[in-house]
Structure 1
Amino acid sequence: MSRMAQPAIWFEELRRSDVAKVGGKNSSLGEMIQTLSAKGISVPAGFATTADAYWNYVDTNGLRQAIAALVADWQDGKVGLAETGAAIRKLFLRGDWPKATAEAIIADYRTLSLRAGRSDVAVAVRSSATAEDLPDASFAGQQETFLNISGEKALLDACRRCYASLFTDRAISYRQTKGFDHMKVALSIGVQQMVRSDLGGSGVMFSIDTETGFDKVVLINAAWGLGENVVQGTVDPDEYQVFKPLLQDSSLSPIIAKTCGAKEKKMIYGSGSEPTRNVPTSKVERAAFVLDDQAILKLSRWAAIIEEHYGCPMDMEWARDGETGELFIVQARPETVQSNRQTGVFKSYTIRKKGRKLAAGLSIGDAVVSGRVCLIETAKDIDQFVDGSVLVTATTDPDWVPIMKRAAAIVTDHGGRTSHAAIVSRELGLPAVVGTGNATSIFHTGQEVTVSCAEGEDGFIYEGIAEYEEKTLDVAGLPATKTKVMLNLANPGAAFRWWRLPADGVGLARMEFVISNAIRIHPMALVHYDHLKDEAAKNEIAALTKGYDDKPEYFVDNLARGLARIAAAVHPKPVIVRMSDFKTNEYAGLLGGAEFEPKEENPMLGFRGASRYYSPRYREGFALECRAIRKLRNELGFRNVIVMIPFCRSVGEAEKVLSVMAENGLSRGVDDLQIYVMCEIPSNVILAKEFARHFDGFSIGSNDLTQLTLGVDRDAGDLADLFDEQDPAVKWMIRSVISEAGKAGAKIGICGQAPSDYPDFAGFLVECGIDSISVSPDSFMAVKRKVAEAERDRKA
């Protein structure tokens, strides 16, 4: 019998060139076993039935003409999709196995059991269409998978059901949309030894950021038990992000995000006619991460190896055996959405006016859409969907695809970034907010809402029709400039959106944004947690820091990882992180903060910036900030981070702050650490030469410098006309400090709002000889062009 005529082939005999014989999934498993086992990647053993075996089954049972006739009647509009699918599936389920095919499946199953050292080994039975996972189409979730199948009769029954699943309603609809000939797509069955992830965990992994296409991160979703709940989006999984370029250094741990999902249930082994079942997770399981850091890093290294081998971003499924602790890759296929996007062009959305926030979840896509809600609670009601509505439902599976592609946006109660709803929304180019937890409880059909996925990793649903602006940005053809044009970034969740901009780094990363949004707790309240008087705040802090015996470590971890995502977006280019610059009233607004902050008449000119860092009132809090920076640079590996001190009033104060930083392991020049100072007080300009002896560079804060030069409160409405960053006195200050910095050999840039608001202001800065201009991302292209124009004029 020739290999082509073989009913079944072992994975280790297959390569990825065998898609025509065994489909994308199975050929990929063979490819990994043959080529990547030597690199430490573990793939469970198994075998695949061939496309020839499928056609043999079809012809032995005389199905070819019957299927073609049923499909033709549906295409002619004589019968509905559901009726057609049911009729074809019935034909398959009533069919008999050709003797040679059944014998081959049973023989290989017995051998697999023998290899595993147990009789009737439990297997996963997966479908692999012979046209699947091509660059322009992903058949993910279109056919069925059957888990924990044990015994020869059960295996043959599961294989028969796999064949029938080639004609589920969703699979028929998908092939029709993609233009595949139904009679030219065959089905291969993968029979793979089960990993005991029912006792461990499993999930999905991408070697690319699924929302932005940022190609330097691995995204991992994880849940307890078998992986179907993660794939189908019926559970809210853990999420981890890892920075690929730093993975090769074994001394680093570049995990830049860790989110503990709710994981309310897990799929485990069942018995008899119910081989799997869902059970609730325990409180301990819900509160714990599925993977420890070592496992996260190991999977990420595997993802990088697999991606490098295939030469494209990859979508993988993994499982961890609860008996042995071993990790396995159980599927790998090319990622088909972000990797096919037009790289030089992207859209930017800015919401100008919006209603109150009604719900939030994970953001899928980056668009904003307004419309009316259509609430569909179960799949049996999908025929009630109104085209062009915002679909709100608990979760989706492949049966929902026909209406999903008619929706304006999608909102679900459950699911993570790798859930079915998320994957299909990306492929359809729809904004979606998944994992809201309560959307089906708070929205009603006909309600007007705005779905926003344009504000970072969190997506929001606002009341009513919002006003928003859409811009198309095309970075192709942007001129090169000698003056560096950098970005002002604050939100780690939005940083990856801008990775395609040819920025020269981040000129201002605001630490306080991460503290107020991701941490929410006053650092001193964590240091002195046991002595807090506010019981309500104490209880809330306890809930937020669950899992941290050392409360301050919560602050250090979350601050380091939040800043790491900003640093990753432009790595290895420089990122200037400004140490916290809250005012006392803002610090007091953090959980537990009121007990540690004085009440001031004018916080803008009060206890802020450098003065806090050496003060007994805040010194312990500043020590946590320093620990986070040390972790960011030395443990996570982001040595591209430069530290900046805000509101430093005198040279004496500079010396005190630098001394405190050194005590906390941050010494200028050690481990290539550079320390900058904000130039936002007239004394910084007047004594620029002296400040330059203590710092490596300056960053002009034009807002505060204008306020203090002109004596105008920037927030005073009655004086708004007097607040002008282009006032001659302010320009004199800027020109003077640029000159002095240049003479002292210190770098100088500007991170204030003026260049973003007034791109022409960039010409003045170039004329002064500034080294860098840092602007908001939406102003980047306009400022870059103005800088190039000013540089040309200067040469002329």
Structure 2
Amino acid sequence: MDDQHVVWFESLRRSDVPRVGGKNASLGEMVANLGARGIKVPPGFAITAHAYRHFIEANGLTGTLSSALADLADGKVSLAEAGQTIRRAILRGEWSDDTAQAIRRNYAELNSRAGLTDMDVAVRSSATAEDLPDASFAGQQETFLNVRGERALLEACRRCYASLFTDRAISYRQAKGFDHLKVALSVGVQRMVRSDLGGAGVMFSIDTETGFEKIVLINAAWGLGENVVQGTVDPDEYEVFKPLLSDPKLSPIIEKKRGGKGLKMIYTNESERPTRNVPTSKAERAAFVLGDQEILTLARWACAIENHYGQPMDIEWAKDGRTDEIFIVQARPETVESRREASAVKTYHVKKTGRKLVSGVSIGEAVAAGAVCVIDSPREADRFVDGAILVTRTTDPDWVPLMRRAAAIVTDHGGRTSHAAIVSRELGLPAIVGAGNATHVLHDEQNVTVSCAEGREGFVYEGTADYEVEEIDFDNIPATRTRIMLNLANPAAAFRWWRIPADGVGLARMEFVVSNHIKIHPMALVRYDTLKDEDAKKTIAELTAGYEPRTEYFVDRLARGLGRIAAVQYPHPVIVRMSDFKTNEYANLIGGSEFEPKEENPMLGFRGASRYYSARYRNGFALECQAIRRLRNDMGFDNVVVMIPFCRSTKEADRVLEVMAENGLKRGEAGLAVYVMCEIPSNVILAKAFAQRFDGFSIGSNDLTQLTLGVDRDSVELAELFDEQDDAVRWMIESVVDQAHKAGVHIGLCGQAPSDHPEFAGFLVECGIDSMSVSPDSFIAVKRRVAAAEQHALAGSAA
């Protein structure tokens, strides 16, 4: 009977893993349960594990398998010799009539349903031990694309059987403790999606580096999806914030990073080689593979699949270039981040480093140092030194035995969903993928440090860097009345801190996002056509390629960069301080020197609020306002609070609020709260008047100390005089806290003092401050100090 050998996807469920393996069982589950949600899966059928066992028995191969594997276990033959013996025997095997007829008959039915002849299909291996909670078996068996005709289909199925005994598959099962002879192989036969004419990729319903569960991560490249899976190309990368996806009016895409996409895999007319890679066009490299609506559709599908399975998922998708339809072609459980221990996190702090040699996409959050070993092929495994830094162009499953021996991995190509990235995570190794030229820049026996602890970008430094490892334990953190918030500035590293049970972000510095994420002076974009600096003009043209007008680059990058920070603490408040560069810092941005005056004392010069209504910068501030409006209204992060820095007078406050309103940011409209930094004595002296214009204060203790005591905070000569705990500074803080409470507005502090001085945290509690915002690595210590101070105050009042 056919159902012994072949079962259609719609008849399968995820409980059928013993019968058809993980991939096919999952495809059946989706076809049966998620089609009504609009999720499309290409039709097809599974050749069962029974058919595989029947093939092995019919060809008398059980003895060959047992003997070769026993010789391998006894050390009589090498892994390569054992694998080759088994594969050769399987490829020589003949199909029994009943199995062959079942495959032919169902292939004909698949053609008939579509009204086609010799339909092109994907032939995918699906082992009965894969996609398990603690073992992904990522890429261990083969997939064959653009297979046409009965003869080619039967041959592809036989080659799938043989791939159960590749060196990498044998090695992986040994490492995971699986009995080789108890694992069987099913084969999925699925109608091809013509993504050779469109695009394809991989997505995860969780952030793969940090385990942040509110993110869908999507990678995309032109052509068939194998290049993304194998890490042959540097794909586009998109991130979507899941909690806001249910509102169709919102577009919560918090990252759109264009990849190099240098190659695409397409069909050929050669039966022996049905696919091949060709270079992409300049236009393809410059364009995003997916539009925003397609990104949002995929993200919603990822959420639906995750909800159905009840766990984070690793999903492959493809877009048909003829019809523009998107399909899900595989879904499996994510096996690394979703199982990571959540109560404690190791955090690496890189202190002193050597020269930066190469950079790429950071995988993992660790640091490793060692000697470089550049390897071109797994065949060179004999010369690899255990514990070295493996540097290569790209990896596939053949590399796994070698990767296990490395301290860290660096590849020229690949993205977050490439083979090198997935396996490195599973092995717990730091890795940098898509480094571009690592195999050219780095050389054997060179001592380097691989740092994946500085955000989404990883770095290889010359020599052994100075770094420390700290374990942050989130268990048993005391509750406090005072809200303890985070200071976050770097969008690239923001997701590292999602597990911290903070009360929001008390300070997100816009200027850090501009200098690191955008790099261009906003006025250089506004007045690009009249720029005199030709080098700057050329660089700006390269960075803003694909953005029209060029100012959209600034708005888009700023909104998405801040979105990453806002997402970490959503729905808690996230206070975004509008730009507070000094003129000398602004001048260092690309194209900035033409727009900034030279000042003797930039610290007390043209900074903060004074810029926002000035003709020199007003148009630049308008772009900042556009970004905040997009962040709150279009992306949906209405938890964002705007804060105005260095506002010297109430007259200046009125002018700034007026300019903001002109740019669509009106205080109180759509729930918009506007705070002001309290960092100038006038903010304290006129606190009552400022409280009538703003919804809250945030004390900047560094600048307030500097201006209260008349001490340059950067002066080495006056370092002893700079004291945030000076009586005059304390009086200022006590006074403004009292005035804020009388006015009924929020007041917090976002300085370093509570982290550095336990007694200062106690003083703030005594004042009754509403919140303190500290760096993430200080959070637990400050939280405990505040809890102790609150207990002490409570005990005192009771007595």
What residue in structure 1 maps to residue 188 of structure 2? Answer: 190
What residue in structure 2 maps to residue 88 of structure 1? Answer: 86
d(CA) in 2 for partners of 1:94, 1:758:
75
d(CA) in 1 for partners of 2:359, 2:723:
38
What aligned pairs does 1:554-565 form with structure 2 within 5 A after superposition? 554-565=553-564
1:136, CA displacement in angstroms?
1.0
What aligned pairs does 1:467-478 form with structure 2 within 5 A after superposition? 467-478=466-477
Percent identity for Structure 1 against Structure 2: 72
- Are 1:71 and 2:69 counterparts? yes
Q: String of CA shifts for 1:96-148, please: whole Å, max 9, x gaps.
A: 11111111111110111111221000000000001111111111100000000
Amino acid paired to 1:313: P
What residue in structure 2 maps to residue 23 of structure 1? Answer: 21
What aligned pairs does 1:354-433 form with structure 2 within 5 A after superposition? 354-433=353-432
What residue in structure 1 maps to residue 239 of structure 2? Answer: 241
What residue in structure 2 maps to residue 523 of structure 1? Answer: 522
d(CA) in 2 for partners of 1:377, 1:485:
50
What residue in structure 2 maps to residue 50 of structure 1? Answer: 48
What residue in structure 1 maps to residue 623 of structure 2? Answer: 624
What residue in structure 2 maps to residue 120 of structure 1? Answer: 118
What residue in structure 1 maps to residue 436 of structure 2? Answer: 437
1:754, CA displacement in angstroms?
1.0
1:756, CA displacement in angstroms?
2.2
d(CA) in 1 for partners of 2:460, 2:757:
32
What aligned pairs does 1:161-310 form with structure 2 within 5 A after superposition? 161-271=159-269, 272-310=271-309
What residue in structure 2 maps to residue 342 of structure 1? Answer: 341
**Alignment partner of 1:147 out of 134, 145, 148:** 145
d(CA) in 2 for partners of 1:371, 1:764:
47
1:755, CA displacement in angstroms?
1.5
1:351, CA displacement in angstroms?
1.2
What residue in structure 2 maps to residue 566 of structure 1? Answer: 565
What aligned pairs does 1:2-21 form with structure 2 within 5 A after superposition? 3=3, 6-21=4-19
Secondary structure in structure 2 of the residue aligned to 1:693: helix
d(CA) in 1 for partners of 2:250, 2:216:
16
1:549, CA displacement in angstroms?
2.2
8 A contact 2:412–2:433 mirrored in 1: yes
What residue in structure 1 maps to residue 720 of structure 2? Answer: 721
1:2, CA displacement in angstroms?
8.6
What residue in structure 2 maps to residue 138 of structure 1? Answer: 136
Q: String of CA shifts for 1:389-431, please: whole Å, max 9, x gaps.
A: 1111111111110011111111111000000100000000000
d(CA) in 2 for partners of 1:249, 1:2:
46
d(CA) in 1 for partners of 2:176, 2:246:
40
Secondary structure in structure 1 of the residue aligned to 2:335: coil
What aligned pairs does 1:769-788 form with structure 2 within 5 A after superposition? 769-788=768-787
What residue in structure 2 maps to residue 451 of structure 1? Answer: 450
1:458, CA displacement in angstroms?
0.6
1:753, CA displacement in angstroms?
1.4
1:328, CA displacement in angstroms?
0.1
What aligned pairs does 1:635-654 form with structure 2 within 5 A after superposition? 635-654=634-653
d(CA) in 2 for partners of 1:246, 1:724:
44
Compared CA separation, residues 95 and 760, structure 1 to 2 (3 A)? farther
Secondary structure in structure 2 of the residue aligned to 1:576: strand
Greater shift, 294-303 or 111-120, is seen at: 111-120
8 A contact 2:2–2:102 mirrored in 1: no
Amino acid paired to 1:722: L
1:379, CA displacement in angstroms?
2.7
d(CA) in 2 for partners of 1:2, 1:606:
82
8 A contact 2:395–2:420 mirrored in 1: yes
1:721, CA displacement in angstroms?
1.5
Secondary structure in structure 2 of the residue aligned to 1:90: helix
1:589, CA displacement in angstroms?
0.5
Q: String of CA shifts for 1:348-401, please: whole Å, max 9, x gaps.
A: 111111111111101100011111111112232122111001111111111110
Q: String of CA shifts for 1:26-65, please: whole Å, max 9, x gaps.
A: 0000000000000100000000011111110010011112
8 A contact 2:138–2:423 mirrored in 1: no
- Are 1:591 and 2:557 counterparts? no
1:759, CA displacement in angstroms?
3.6
What residue in structure 1 maps to residue 96 of structure 2? Answer: 98
Amino acid paired to 2:196: D
Secondary structure in structure 2 of the residue aligned to 1:717: coil
1:246, CA displacement in angstroms?
0.5
Amino acid paired to 1:181: D
Secondary structure in structure 2 of the residue aligned to 1:637: coil
Compared CA separation, residues 251 and 529, structure 1 to 2 (3 A)? same
8 A contact 2:131–2:137 mirrored in 1: yes
d(CA) in 1 for partners of 2:366, 2:732:
41
d(CA) in 2 for partners of 1:644, 1:601:
27
Amino acid paired to 1:373: V
* TM-score using structure 1 length: 0.99
- Are 1:35 and 2:33 counterparts? yes
Amino acid paired to 2:90: F
d(CA) in 2 for partners of 1:238, 1:262:
8
d(CA) in 2 for partners of 1:43, 1:663:
49
Amino acid paired to 1:596: F
What residue in structure 1 maps to residue 743 of structure 2? Answer: 744
What residue in structure 2 maps to residue 511 of structure 1? Answer: 510
d(CA) in 2 for partners of 1:720, 1:217:
44
d(CA) in 2 for partners of 1:97, 1:473:
58
Amino acid paired to 1:205: M
d(CA) in 1 for partners of 2:704, 2:370:
44
**Structure 1 runs, 4 residues or longer, greater than 3 Å off:** none
Secondary structure in structure 2 of the residue aligned to 1:436: coil
d(CA) in 2 for partners of 1:42, 1:758:
58
8 A contact 2:250–2:634 mirrored in 1: yes
What residue in structure 2 maps to residue 540 of structure 1? Answer: 539
Secondary structure in structure 1 of the residue aligned to 2:136: coil
Q: String of CA shifts for 1:301-347, please: whole Å, max 9, x gaps.
A: 00000000000000000000000000000000000000110011101
d(CA) in 2 for partners of 1:353, 1:631:
38
1:757, CA displacement in angstroms?
2.2
1:265, CA displacement in angstroms?
0.5
Q: CA RMSD in A?
A: 0.8
Q: String of CA shifts for 1:642-671, please: whole Å, max 9, x gaps.
A: 000000000110000000000000011000
* TM-score using structure 2 length: 0.99
d(CA) in 2 for partners of 1:77, 1:791:
66
Greater shift, 308-317 or 363-372, is seen at: 363-372
Amino acid paired to 1:157: E
d(CA) in 2 for partners of 1:787, 1:549:
49
What aligned pairs does 1:662-741 form with structure 2 within 5 A after superposition? 662-741=661-740
d(CA) in 2 for partners of 1:378, 1:74:
23
Secondary structure in structure 1 of the residue aligned to 2:414: coil
d(CA) in 2 for partners of 1:123, 1:763:
69
- Are 1:62 and 2:64 counterparts? no
Gaps of 5+ in 2: none
d(CA) in 2 for partners of 1:727, 1:384:
63
d(CA) in 1 for partners of 2:471, 2:477:
14
d(CA) in 2 for partners of 1:370, 1:717:
35
Gaps of 5+ in 1: none
8 A contact 2:713–2:719 mirrored in 1: yes
Greater shift, 154-163 or 759-768, is seen at: 759-768
What residue in structure 2 maps to residue 768 of structure 1? Answer: 767
